[in-house]
Amino acid sequence: MKAVSFWELSHKLYLCKDIIKTNKLMKKNAQINTSPVCQVRMQAISDAMSLLSGKWKFHILGTLIEGNKLGFMDLLREINGIGTKMLSKELQDLEMNNLISRTVMNTKPITVSYSITEYGKTLSPMIDEMAKWGIEYRKAVYQNKG
C-alpha cells in the first residue's frame, strides 16, 4: 500500500468538498410534485399507506366486509397464516383508526366480536379495485413468462 502524504490527503479532501458543493448546486428542484394540490394528494396517499400498511390489514378488512360480524377465533380461522398476537395487534390498530369496531359480549366466557364500521366500509371499492388489479397483474406476469 502506497503511503499518502498529509498534503496529498488534504488536497483530495479539498477536491471532494468541491465535488459535493458542485453536486448540491447542480441538484434540480422538484418540478412535478410542487403544486399545493399535488402536495396534499401526496400527503393523503402517505397517510393512507401508513394506516393500511402491513401484510394483514387488507385481509382483515376484506374478511370483515364479507363476513359482517366475526369473533376473534373466526377471524383467526379465516385469515390463513396470521398468528394470535399479530391478529390482536392489527385489530387494535384498525379499531384505533375507526375502521372496525369491537364489541364485548356479556357471556361466560366473555366473547368479543369485530365488525367493519361505516367508515371502514368506504374502503370496499378500493379493496375491490386492488383485487381486480392484482388478478390482471398476475395474469399478465404469468402470461409473459409462459
**pLDDT band, residue 1 (cuts 50/70/90):** very low
At 25 the pLDDT is: 55
Q: Could you tell me the sign of the dihedral formed by the alpha carbons of 61, 62, 68, 71, in that order?
A: negative
Question: Domain residue spans in the chain?
Answer: 55-138
| Per-residue pLDDT reduced to its tens digit, 52-79 | 999 999 999 999 999 889 999 999 999 9
pTM of the full predicted structure?
A: 0.72
103-126 pLDDT, tens digit each: 999 989 899 999 999 999 999 999
The listed CATH number (2.30.110.10, 3.40.50.150, 1.10.10.10, 2.40.160.20) that belongs to domain 55-138: 1.10.10.10
